[in-house]
């Protein structure tokens, strides 16, 4: 039986749409879209979603609604993360979205976001990479989720940290050492031994726009190719080289890099430093990059028949 499902991820930096067919535990993408919305712009200072950001969000979602209607999916799940979760004017924003698009948006908790990211990442990994304990870091525009699962049957443990590429860029600009100090302080505070999220030499999978963009940059891709990015290994040496290179460039120069998505160049340095510090703190080996993540988890969670899916 073929089922068409749709997931929408409303991140702090970008909104993403995925429509896919699900059959016999496999996922076949039909439509993928990404729009840089920068919904979390200015949120750190005001605690509010800015009117211009909300207008951009509604426009992007209206476009997604038209796209979704063409497929008439059997399931649809629309989820918002850190920016909407934190915003004091959340209710007004969600009401406006519903009025214009008809979408009922779910605001994910940090724990729900972590669980869905884990599901999306796990389905795309080849069997030999599905090792336990399994450690995942999903770095977004507004927050970073760290998830650990010790065995197949054990419940995952997770922590959601206010470390995002958008917020850190707004606070510290292109100063990698200032960003590093903030990231290191928060990680040291959050990842105390009793949290039991990591151990020396852990195998760490990373997902999110920062991780995939760095993999594409390391590969020298002119245009993004998911099949090459998936399962790419980022060593500490290569990650350090990329951070140094990005720090030496202006924002406009970073935006102009081959394969860099729209608006990603402005925040990529902060995201790269987050990953560098996560590797230092949690892993003693290269980072394994996953092209799949939260968006796939959102789509799969909306369709109960999608158990243990694989990409085709």
The mean pLDDT of 154-176, rounded to a whole number, is 89
In the chain, domain spans: 3-110+295-311, 123-290
Taking CA 213 as the corner, what is the angle to CA 58 and CA 27, rounded to the nearest 5 degrees? 70
* 108 CB-near residues (< 8 Å, 6+ apart): 79, 80, 81, 85, 116
Nearest one of 57, 71, 48 to 9, comparing CA atoms: 57
> pLDDT (tens digit, 9 = 90+) per residue, 206-254?
999 999 999 999 999 988 898 999 999 999 999 999 999 999 999 999 9
Q: How confident is the model at residue 307 (pLDDT cuts 50, 70, 90)?
A: very low
How many Å apart are CA 85 and CA 9, to the nearest integer?
A: 13
> pLDDT (tens digit, 9 = 90+) per residue, 97-108?
999 999 999 999
Which superfamily is assigned to 123-290 in CATH? Exopolyphosphatase. Domain 2 (3.30.420.150)
Q: Where are the alpha helices (DSSP H) in 30-109?
A: 43-46, 51-69, 82-86, 90-101
Decide which of 3.90.1300.10, 3.30.420.40, 3.20.10.10, 3.20.20.70 is the CATH code for 3-110+295-311.
Answer: 3.30.420.40
Instruction: Reply yes or no: is the peptide bond before residue 133 cis, omega within 30 of 0.
Output: yes
Strand order across the beta sheet in which 134-139 lies: 157-161, 144-149, 134-139, 204-207, 287-290, 232-234
Query: Is the model's pLDDT at 1 over the cut of 90?
Result: no
Domains 3-110+295-311 and 123-290 share a fold: yes
pTM: 0.83
Cβ atoms of 309 and 3 within 8 Å: the answer is no
Radius of gyration of the CA atoms of the chain, in A: 18
């Amino acid at each position: 039986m073929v089922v068409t499902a749709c997931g929408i991820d409303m991140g702090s930096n970008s909104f993403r749409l995925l429509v896919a067919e699900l059959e016999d535990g496999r996922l076949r993408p039909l439509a993928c879209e990404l729009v840089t919305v920068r919904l979390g712009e200015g949120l750190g200072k005001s605690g509010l979603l800015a009117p211009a950001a909300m207008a951009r969000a509604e426009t992007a979602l209206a476009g997604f609604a038209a796209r979704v209607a063409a497929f008439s999916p059997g399931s649809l799940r629309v989820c918002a993360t850190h920016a909407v979760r934190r915003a004091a004017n959340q209710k007004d924003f969600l009401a406006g979205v519903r009025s214009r698009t008809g979408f009922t948006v779910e605001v994910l908790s940090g724990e729900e976001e972590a669980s869905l990211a884990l599901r999306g990442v796990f389905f795309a990994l080849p069997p030999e990479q599905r090792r336990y304990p399994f450690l995942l870091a999903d770095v977004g525009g507004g927050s970073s989720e760290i998830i650990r699962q010790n065995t197949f049957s054990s419940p995952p443990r997770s922590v959601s940290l206010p470390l995002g590429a958008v917020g850190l860029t707004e606070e510290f600009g292109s100063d990698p050492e200032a960003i590093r100090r903030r990231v290191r302080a928060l990680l040291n505070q959050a990842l105390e031994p009793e949290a039991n999220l990591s151990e020396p030499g852990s195998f760490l999978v990373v997902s999110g726009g920062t991780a995939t963009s760095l993999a594409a940059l390391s590969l020298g891709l002119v245009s993004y190719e998911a099949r090459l990015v998936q399962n790419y290994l980022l060593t500490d040496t290569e990650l350090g080289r990329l951070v140094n290179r990005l720090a030496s460039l202006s924002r406009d120069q970073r935006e102009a890099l081959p394969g860099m998505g729209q608006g990603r160049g402005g925040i990529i340095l902060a995201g790269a430093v987050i990953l560098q510090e996560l590797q230092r703190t949690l892993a003693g080996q290269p980072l394994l990059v996953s092209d799949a993540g939260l968006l796939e988890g959102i789509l799969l969670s909306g369709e109960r028949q999608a158990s243990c899916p694989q990409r085709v």
